DNA sequence: AACTATATGATAATGAATTATCATTATCTG
DNA sequence: CAGATAATGATAATTCATTATCATATAGTT
């Protein structure tokens, strides 16, 4: 059975208030003051996945990132300068037209890249 | 100066005739009969990038993939069952509308996932 | 054919992300 | 509060992709 702990809450809170998905390392750094260990970060993230509270976002060339599972449909923007990742709400749509004959579409991801306002 | 070799040609040919981008490992396997070593595959791929003949395609959770640089604008479909990656021609467009105020869009990638015709 | 620089293959080394281990600590329940 | 068990942190271990090393083979030139 799962007990509550300050670390478990901290991970969830941090992900919920972030502007985009975070990696294990991101979280470890942001929560450094709390003294949380990296192993614990990974453990809690994996538990979050098991429990269905979190989902992963895979972006090219980077480590796996995590975000709350209950966010509305959205996509991501990665800054080529600072490498931060931001949620972008909305979706271009029209993915179906791209799917080859005989293929079945289950999911899609749109990844924008460029410069964020701070780096532009 | 760059000499021509059967391996260099083989890599280019294989990438040109593939249905989607290939990883170093993919290429090593496909060219196994030729006796090419993995180090050579990586070497030739990096040279292809330097020479501008190849570009990389990063897909979530997988190794870097390579494709010829002169393909027309397209995106990718990854099969969740066999993990093969296929080019899909065309583009949904309308990415600009997603870009947050103050951000500059340089590139975009659309990644579809589901089942390919063989796995559906 | 001889010569010189590049190409190659086997394998060791590296780097980064993630998982495993284990002794200690904290939480929850009664 | 006491007992049982989950949570934690430090660190070792693992896994996978990629790069470095180096002795040998090969291509291109004379």
CA-based nearest distance A61→chain B, Å: 6
* pLDDT of A95 above 90: yes
Same domain for B61 and B13: yes
Indicate if A64 and A79 belong to the same structural domain: no
Q: Do B101 and A94 touch (CB under 8 A)?
A: no
pLDDT tens digits, A41-65: 999 999 999 999 999 999 988 999 9
Domain ranges, residue A37: 6-68
In a domain, B120, yes or no: no
CATH of the domain at B47: 1.10.10.10
Assess whether pLDDT exceeds 90 at residue A75: yes
pTM higher than the cut 0.75: yes
Q: In this structure, is residue B1 part of a structural domain?
A: no
Contact B86 A100 (CB under 8 A): yes
- The closest nt to A37, taking CA to C1', is D9
Report yes or no: A12 and A2 within 8 Å, Cβ to Cβ: no
Q: In this structure, what CATH number is given to the domain that contains residue B83?
A: 3.30.1490
List residues of A whose CB lies inside 8 A of any B CB.
57-61, 64, 75, 77, 80, 86, 88-95, 97-117, 120
DSSP states of A34-70 = GT--HHHHHHHHHHHHHTTSEEEE--TTS--EEEETT
Residue B28 falls within a domain, yes or no? yes
Domain assignment of residue B29, yes or no: yes
- A28 and A12 both lie in a single domain: yes
Q: Looking at the 3D structure of chain A, how many domains does it have?
A: 2
* A81 and A41 within one domain: no
Chain B closest-CA separation from residue A5 CA (Å): 30
Name the average pLDDT for chain A: 96
Along the 120 residues of chain B, how does pLDDT read in single tens digits?
Answer: 899 999 999 999 999 999 999 999 999 999 999 999 999 999 999 999 999 999 999 998 899 999 999 999 999 999 999 999 999 999 999 999 999 999 999 999 999 999 999 998
């Amino acid at each position: 059975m799962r007990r509550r702990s300050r670390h478990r809450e901290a991970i969830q809170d941090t992900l919920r208030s972030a502007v985009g998905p975070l990696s294990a390392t991101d979280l470890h750094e942001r929560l450094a003051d709390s003294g949380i260990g990296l192993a614990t970060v990974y453990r809690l993230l994996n538990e979050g996945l098991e429990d269905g509270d979190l989902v992963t976002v895979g972006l090219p060339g980077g480590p796996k990132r995590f975000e709350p599972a209950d966010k509305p449909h959205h996509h991501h923007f990665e800054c080529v300068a600072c490498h931060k990742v931001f949620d972008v709400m909305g979706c271009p749509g029209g993915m179906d037209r791209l799917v080859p004959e005989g293929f079945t579409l289950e999911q899609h991801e749109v990844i924008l890249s460029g410069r964020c306002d701070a780096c532009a």
